[in-house]
A and B are shown apart, each in its own frame.
Chain A
Amino acid sequence: MAKITFTDIGQTYDKDPNQETWALKPMSMTLESGRSYALVGPSGCGKTTILNIISGIINPFQGKVFLDENDVTKLPTAKRNVALVFQFPTIYKSMTVEQNLAFPLVCRKWEPAKIKQRVGDIAEQIGISHKLNRSASKLGADEKQLISLGRGLVRDDVTALLMDEPLTVIDPQLKFELRKKIKQIIEGKDITVVYVTHDQYEAMTFADELLVMSLGKLVQRGTPEDLFERPNSKYVGNFIGSPAMNFFKAEVVDGFAQIGDYRLNTAVNLKKLSDRYLEFGIRPEHVRVQGGPGDNVLTVDFIGFDDLGSTRVLNCLFAGELIKVKVPRSFEMPEQGLIDIKLPKDNLLAYRDGLQVL
């Protein structure tokens, strides 16, 4: 297992000198050994590019990559000993399942007896022992992905396990099963995992830490709790959580956020700030429906709700802004019309130009 360090890594595919167009804007970061990370972000934000730079499939346009303390920027893929699971199952069609799993070891010129034993162990772990002699091309997509994973794990000394949206091509019913299985397989091992997905739930179930990306930049990294409770930007607030965070504009008056006739206390000390207007954000999960007036309570127009199954989301209008409130299913729906909602002070965060104000 190894620590992965990027120093000033940037990537452009067309060598455009204007950095704003780069697929990956220059960035530095460290991924600690033995931890699991999820890279999330919309399509085209550079997730695959990061994985390819770690694995060496592409050489970065600028900057250096380190595995532990070794500079591997110029090292060929084979020498880096990284395991990668692609979005589309990549199996060697001309080989059997067993030959597929043995392939990395054969490349390393292990002894046949040792290979057989190791392959047996791994096949057991990924649960395909009974299919070792099948032709790999005959398997389903989920089993092919397991084999890709198995080929990564069969080397006992991989520096990192990279997965690029491994569940994309899996049927929804199998997705859940396979996700659980992959998690189980990885969990027992002290392995540095980088998991790419654009599904935030997948990211949260897999990873100790999430890295949220946008347009070739790392926007925020942190535990699921960090991203949920303290999104550092409107972008993260919208991207993480469902429904997205509520944002509304308000005037800053005497250290309060003034919206309509109401004055709200916020988590930030607004007195220190010189802004006249700021945007404020609060998670729909933190907004509460309240019996009557009080501190930080707004009277809003409840116009309807969305049923999400286990939860429901109330849509409320206030001074032209839509505020969503997430409640458990057991919550008794009020009549449509005016209701009171409380925006707890500690959960009401301030944003300027899309970035959090602390």
Chain B
Amino acid sequence: MSRIFKYSFIFIWSAFVLTPLSWALVTSFKPPAAVNNGATFIPWLQFQPTLDGWKDITGISGYANLFPPLINSATVTFFATLVSLTFGCMAAYGLSRFSYGWKHYKNPDIIFFFISQRIMPPAVLAVPFFILLKTLHLLDTKLGLVLVLTSGLMPIVVWLLVDFFNQLPKEIDEMAMLEGCNPFEAFVRTILPLSKPGLTVAGMFSIIFGWNDLFFALVLTFTNVQTLPVAVVALNGTVTPFWTLCASAIFSILPLIGLAFVVERFLSKGGFAGAVR
């Protein structure tokens, strides 16, 4: 009984999630007639699929080319994630193992301070960041965008990793320090090798949030650096046909879908917590 319930739930949920996606996927291969003369669903049966939509966004037809924005997005996301993970994991380790404080503010308050950066609506930060980057001459540069994105990704990384490190027994690094490591060596040599699952999850979240950022890219970059979400939105603003829009939507989520498959394998292999004892 509970089995039937479980499977029907999964079925309904998948339908809920997959229908819009598959609708977009199918539409991206439609010729104009298949869209304009009433709804069609099944390729080859109801219409002859074409690649016109895809040619429009890959520069083949000369309409638009989403590859440069893709590369921009990938570069910016990669470096923002790299910086967030590198510094975030050190911050998280420190917050997990040592106590800091000023007056009655202690580690939990510092962690809350980190996460509060995410609670703030990005719109609040738009003007300050704009002025900041303008002063530094970093408007419309990848570096500027990386810095701004990092400020949003780091809190997620720290928050996730503090929790992860808290689950690793502190005896491991205490032992390493007893055996002659300084705290940094203890972290790098004994804790990091055990942290692949945690780093993977934190990295994945960081990539997803970085990849999907539209707001800051829209405000802080103009012509030199156009990221994928900005480019897709720009297509929307012109008289782009439906099939091309659908192709652009699918195009922009393909890399994340690929990532999901890679990471999924990684996670189930490592096991998440309890990697010790």
Contact = CB atoms under 8 A, between A and B. Distances in A.
Given A92-B190, A104-B179, A107-B180, A57 B174 contact: yes
B193 A77 contact: no
B177 interface: yes
Interface stretch (A4-12, A82-90, A321-329): A82-90
A88 B181 CA distance: 20
Nearest to B172: A90
Interface in A262-316: none
Nearest to A79: B180
Q: Is the interface of B mostly helix, strand, loop or mixed?
A: helix
Between A82, A88, A107, the greatest number of chain B beta carbons within 10 A of the residue's beta carbon is seen for A107
B190 A77 contact: no
A113 B137 CA distance: 54
Interface string B176-208: 111111100100011001100000000000000
B171 A93 contact: no
A90 B180 contact: no
A77 B173 CA distance: 11
A76 interface: yes
Contacts of B174: 57, 77, 84
A83 B182 CA distance: 16
Contact of A78 (B171, B172, B178): B178
B177 A88 contact: no
8 contacts: A55-B178, A57-B174, A82-B178, A84-B175, A86-B171, A88-B277, A94-B194, A107-B181
A321 to B, nearest CB: 47
A92 B195 CA distance: 12
Given A93-B275, A94-B193, A76 B179 contact: no
B97 to A, nearest CB: 11
A108 interface: yes
A234 interface: no
Contacts, number: 63
Contacts of B177: 57, 76-78
Contacts of A90: 169, 171-172, 175
Cβ-closest 7 pairs across A and B: A94-B193, A107-B180, A104-B179, A77-B177, A90-B171, A90-B175, A86-B171
Interface in B34-51: none
B276 interface: yes
Interface residues of A, number: 26
A228 interface: no
A103 B171 contact: no
Interface of A: 55-57, 76-78, 80-84, 86, 88-90, 92-95, 103-104, 107-108, 148, 151, 155
Contacts of A86: 171, 175
Interface string B153-180: 0000000000000000101101111111
B62 to A, nearest CB: 53
Interface of B: 169, 171-172, 174-182, 185, 189-190, 193-194, 275-277
Contacts of A80: 178
Contacts of B190: 92, 94
Nearest to B196: A94
A104 B180 CA distance: 6
B169 A107 contact: no
Contacts of B181: 78, 107
Contact of B179 (A57, A94, A107): A107
B169 A103 contact: no
A86 B276 CA distance: 14
B29 to A, nearest CB: 47
A151 B176 CA distance: 10
A103 B172 contact: no
Contacts of A57: 174, 177-178
Contact of B180 (A56, A78, A88, A92): A78
A108 B180 contact: yes
Contacts of A151: 175, 179
Contact of A93 (B175, B182, B276): B276
B175 A89 contact: no
A76 B180 CA distance: 10
A93 B193 CA distance: 9
Nearest to B174: A57
A271 B169 CA distance: 59
Between B177, B178, B182, the greatest number of chain A beta carbons within 10 A of the residue's beta carbon is seen for B178
Contacts of A108: 180
Contacts of B171: 86, 88, 90
Given A92-B172, A94-B193, A107-B185, A84 B178 contact: yes
A248 to B, nearest CB: 46
Contacts of A155: 179-180
Given A57-B174, A88-B169, A78 B275 contact: no
A83 B178 contact: yes
A104 B177 CA distance: 9
A122 to B, nearest CB: 13
A30 B222 CA distance: 73
A82 B178 CA distance: 6
A277 B270 CA distance: 68
A223 B175 CA distance: 31
Contacts of B182: 76, 78
Nearest to A151: B179
Contacts of B185: 107
A94 B193 CA distance: 6
Contacts of B277: 88-89
A109 to B, nearest CB: 9
A151 B174 CA distance: 14
B42 to A, nearest CB: 51
A44 B243 CA distance: 70
Contacts of B276: 93
Nearest to A92: B190
